[in-house]
Amino acid sequence: MIKRNLLVMGLAVLLSACGFQLRGTGTNELAIKELDVSARDAYGQTVTQLRQVLQSSGVKVYTGAPYKLVLTNEQESQRILSYAGAGRAGEYQVSTVLSYDIRGQGNQPLLSDKLEVQKIFMHDGNNLVGSDQEADTARVETRRELVQRMMLRLQQLTPAQLDQLQQTADAKAKADAAALEAAQKAEANTPRQSPVELPQQ
């Protein structure tokens, strides 16, 4: 028994040394301390929950922060996984895809990505009220997991990485502007061809 306990303790120490943490036991601390958060639906449940979790993790969320997280699109879909006939239980799957941008100074996009979460619930044709509750619970859990995954994504970002992305975006914008200016100058300096006059017969 003692050997078994020592083995478990040893594995726990080894895993923690590797940076492994059980879900719910680690901290939500982010290297980013200021963030502007917005969404197409400014008062939607996902963006509201995300703001709350960020603030509880020590992030100052306000308009005008150096970097901006924009939830550009959130799409939910539902499909039947198994159908057992009229009035009998079947499996349904609800999926939510959340697309987002992180933007820097000048509202320049620094990176774009998306998250997808799927949950399965039972639908019972003989218990429609219970089935609706199951569906609502699946949607709540899906939203909660989306927020958790977004926090994990944000934890992987540092101000130094965002600064580097900002420099790359600035350089690209400058190069694009220079190319556009050169094209406009070239077009302005190109002599216009006069209409060709056909000889009279």
SS3 category, 90: strand
Per-residue pLDDT tens digits for 32-78: 999 999 998 888 999 999 999 999 999 999 999 999 999 999 999 88
In a domain, 196, yes or no: no
Sign of CA dihedral 189, 190, 191, 195: negative
In a domain, 12, yes or no: no
| Contact (CB, 8 A) for 110 and 159 | no
pTM over 0.85: no
What interhelical angle do 45-56 and 128-155 show, nearest 10? Answer: 50
Q: What total number of domains does the chain contain? A: 1
CATH number of the domain that 123 lies in?
A: 3.30.160.150
Q: Which two tokens stand for residue 142?
A: 């899906």
In a domain, 201, yes or no: no
Percent of the chain with pLDDT over 70: 73
pLDDT above 90: residue 6: no
**Residue 138 pLDDT class (50, 70, 90 cuts):** confident
In a domain, 19, yes or no: no
In a domain, 10, yes or no: no
User: Which domain range does residue 118 map to?
Assistant: 26-173
Q: What is the C-alpha to C-alpha distance for residues 19 and 13, in angstroms, rounded to an integer?
A: 10
